Chain A
Amino acid sequence: MLAADALPPKFRNWFAARGWSPREHQLAMLEKARQGRGALLIAPTGGGKTLAGFLPSLIELTERPPRNTPAGVHTLYISPLKALAVDVERNLLTPIREMGLPIVAESRTGDTGEARKARQRIRPPDILLTTPEQLALFCAWEGAREYFADLRCVIIDEAHAIWPSKRGDLLALGLARLQRFAPTLRRVGLSATVDDPDLVRKWLGVNSPPPCGEGVGGGGVSAALSELTPPPQPLPAGGRGPTSHNIDLVLGSGGAQPVVEVLVSGGRVPWAGHTAEHAMAEVYEIIKSSQTALIFVNTRFQAEFAFQRLWELNDEGLPIALHHGSLSAEQRRKVEAAMAKGALRAVVCTSTLDMGIDWGDVDLVIQLAAPKGASRMVQRIGRANHRLDEPSRALFVPASRFEMLECRAAADAILENHLDGDPPRIGTLDTLAQHVMGCACSEPFDLMALFEEVRSAGPYAELSWEDFETVVDFVSTGGYALRTYDKFRRIVQTPEGLWTARNAQARLQHRMNVGAIVSPGMINIRIGGGRRPMGGRKIGEAEEGYFEQLTPGDTFIFAGQVWRYNSMVGADAFVSPAPNDDPKMPSWGGSKFPLSTYLASRVRQMMHDEREWTALPPDVQEWLAWQKIRSAIPGDGEMLLETFPNGKRFHMVCYPFEGRLAHTTLAMLLTRRLDRLGVGPLGFVCNDYALNLWSLRPMDGLDLDELFAQDMLGDDLEAWLDESFMMKRAFKHCALIAGLIERRHPGAEKSGRQVTFSTDLIYDVLRKHQPDHLMLRCARHDAATGMLDIARLGDMLTRVHGNIRHMPLDRVSPLAVPIMLEIGRERAPGDAAGEMILAEAEEDLIAEAMS
Chain B
Amino acid sequence: MTRFSPSSCGGLRIALSNVEVMLRWSGAMWLEAERTLVVADLHFEKGSSYAARFGQMLPPYDTRETLDRLDREIALLTPDRLIFLGDSFHDGDGEARLAHDDARRLEGLALGRELVWAVGNHDADGPKVLPGEIIDEAVIAGLTLRHEPLPGVQFGEVAGHLHPAAKVTSGRATIRRRCFVTDGQRLVLPAFGAFTGGLNVLDEAFSNLFAGPLLAGALGPKRVHAVGRKSLRPD
The answer to whether A and B assemble together is yes
Q: Which residue of B lies closest to A491 (CB)?
A: B55
Residues from chain B with Cβ under 8 Å of A834 in the complex:
173, 175, 220
B51 touching A826 by the CB < 8 A rule? Answer: no
- Cα-based distance from A768 to B233 in the complex (angstroms): 31
The distance in angstroms between the C-alpha atoms of A773 and B61, with both chains bound, is 12
In the complex, A319 has a CB within 8 A of chain B: no
Q: Is the Cβ of B195 less than 8 Å from the Cβ of A762?
A: yes
Point out the residue from B55, B65, B173, B225 that lies within 8 Å of A839, measured CB to CB. B225
A548-B174, A842-B225, A844-B228 are contacts. A762–B168 as well, Cβ < 8 Å?
A: no
Q: In the complex, which residue of chain B has the Cβ closest to the Cβ of A482?
A: B60
User: A452 on the interface (CB 8 Å rule)?
Assistant: no
Residues in A whose Cβ lies below 8 Å from that of B231: 841, 844-845
Is the C-beta of A792 less than 8 angstroms from some C-beta in chain B?
Answer: no
Taking a contact as CB atoms under 8 Å apart, the answer to whether B58 and A740 are in contact is yes
0/1 interface trace, chain B 214-235, chain A, CB 8 Å (1 if under):
0000101100011110110111
Q: Which residues in A have their C-beta under 8 angstroms from that of B56?
A: 509, 740-742
What's the Cα separation between A761 and B55 when bound, in Å?
19
B170, B171, B227 — which one has the most chain A CB atoms within 10 A of its CB?
A: B170
Q: Are B55 and A567 in contact (CB under 8 A)?
A: no
Residue-wise, chain A 146-187 has the 8 Å CB interface mask toward B (1 for contact) of 000000000000000000000000000000000000000000
Q: Report the nearest A residue to B60, measured CB to CB.
A: A484
Smallest Cβ-Cβ distance to A775: which chain B residue: B59
Question: Quick check: is B1 within 8 A (CB to CB) of the other chain?
Answer: yes
Q: Is A496 an interface residue (CB 8 A)?
A: no
Contact mask A744-770 → B, CB, 8 Å, 1/0? Answer: 010000000010011001100110111
Contact partners of A484 in chain B: CB under 8 A: 48, 51, 60, 97, 99
A400 to B195, CA, bound (A): 47
Q: Contact check, B173 vs A765: say whether CB atoms are below 8 A apart.
A: no
The proximity string for A residues 483-514 relative to B, scoring 1 for CB distances below 8 Å and 0 otherwise, is 01100101000000000001001100100000
B91 to chain A, nearest CB (A): 14
User: Are A490 and B57 interface neighbours, CB within 8 A?
Assistant: yes
The answer, yes or no, to whether A478 is at the interface (CB within 8 Å) is yes
B218 and A838 within 8 A (CB) = yes
| Chain B: minimal CB distance from A843 (Å) | 10
User: Which listed residue, A505, A741, A773, touches B55 by the CB 8 Å rule?
Assistant: A505
B170-A841 in contact (CB<8A):
yes
B54-A745 in contact (CB<8A):
yes
| B residues less than 8 Å from A548 (CB atoms) | 174
Do A567 and B197 have beta carbons less than 8 Å apart? no
793-841 of chain A: CB within 8 A of chain B: 826-829, 831, 833-835, 837-841
Partner of A842, one of B64, B65, B227: B227
* Contact of A568 with B by CB under 8 A: yes
Please state if A848 and B230 are interface contacts (CB–CB under 8 Å): yes
B58 touches A841 (CB 8 A): no
Q: Is A626 an interface residue (CB 8 A)?
A: no
- Chain B 38-75 interface mask (CB, 8 Å, partner A; 1/0): 00000000001001101111111110110000000000
> B128: CB under 8 A from chain A?
no
* Least Cβ–Cβ distance between B162 and chain A, in angstroms: 16
User: Is A477 in contact with chain B by the CB < 8 A criterion?
Assistant: yes
A826 to B197, CA, bound (A): 27
CB within 8 Å for A509 and B173 given contacts A837-B168, A844-B228, A845-B226 = no
Given A485-B48, A551-B233: A758 and B195 within 8 A (CB)? yes
Contacts of A502 in B (CB 8 A): 55
Counting CB contacts under 8 A, is A549 at the interface? yes
Q: Once the chains bind, are B228 and A568 in contact (CB under 8 Å)?
A: no
Question: Does the CB pair B172–A765 fall under 8 Å?
Answer: no
Check A765–B194 contact: CB distance below 8 A.
Answer: yes
Contacts A484-B97, A770-B61, A845-B231; A838 near B220 (Cβ below 8 A)? yes
The proximity string for B residues 191-229 relative to A, scoring 1 for CB distances below 8 Å and 0 otherwise, is: 000111110000000000000000000101100011110
Q: Which residue of A lies closest to B97 (CB)?
A: A484
Q: Which of B175, B195, B198 contacts A837 (CB 8 A)?
A: B175
Whether B225 pairs with A478 at a CB distance below 8 angstroms is no
- With A567-B234, A838-B225, A841-B168 known as contacts, the answer to whether A482 contacts B61 (CB < 8 A) is yes
Q: Is B169 interfacial (CB-CB < 8 Å)?
A: yes
Does chain B have a CB within 8 A of A480? yes
Q: Tell me if A769 and B195 are in contact (CB < 8 A).
A: no
Query: A504 to nearest B CB, angstroms?
Result: 11
Closest CB of chain A to B44's CB: distance in Å? 13
Chain B contacts of A115 at CB under 8 A?
none
Complex contact B226–A829 (CB within 8 A): no
Distance to closest chain A CB from B64 (angstroms):
6
Contact of A741 among B58, B170, B233, B235 (CB under 8 A): B58
Within 8 A of B (CB), among A457-477: 474, 477
Residues B220 and A765 in contact, CB atoms below 8 Å apart? no
| B57, B65, B235: the one within 8 Å of A478 (CB) | B57
B174 touches A841 (CB 8 A): no
Assess A770 versus B59: contact at CB under 8 Å? Given A548-B174, A828-B173, A829-B175: yes
> Which single member of A485, A549, A745, A840 contacts B57 (CB below 8 Å)?
A485
Cβ contacts under 8 Å, A745 to chain B: 54
Contact at A833–B195, with CB atoms within 8 Å?
A: no
Is A3 an interface residue, CB under 8 A from the partner? no
In the bound assembly, the distance between CA atoms of A347 and B173 in angstroms comes to 34
Interface residues in chain A, defined as those with a beta carbon under 8 Å from any beta carbon in chain B: 474, 477-480, 482, 484-485, 488, 490, 502, 505-506, 509, 548-549, 551-552, 567-568, 740-742, 745, 754, 757-758, 761-762, 765-766, 768-770, 773, 826-829, 831, 833-835, 837-842, 844-845, 848-849
A and B contact pairs by CB, cutoff 8 A, 7 listed: A482-B99, A484-B99, A740-B58, A766-B59, A768-B61, A841-B170, A841-B231
Q: Which residues of B contact A (CB under 8 A)?
A: 1, 48, 51-52, 54-62, 64-65, 97, 99, 168-175, 177, 194-198, 218, 220-221, 225-228, 230-231, 233-235
The 10 closest A-B pairs by CB, nearest first: A478-B57, A841-B231, A769-B61, A838-B225, A845-B228, A484-B60, A837-B170, A488-B51, A834-B175, A829-B173
Question: Known contacts A765-B61, A765-B62; can you find 19 more A-B pairs with CB under 8 A?
Answer: A484-B48, A485-B57, A502-B55, A505-B55, A568-B234, A741-B58, A745-B54, A758-B197, A765-B59, A765-B65, A766-B61, A769-B64, A835-B221, A838-B220, A841-B168, A841-B170, A845-B227, A845-B230, A849-B1
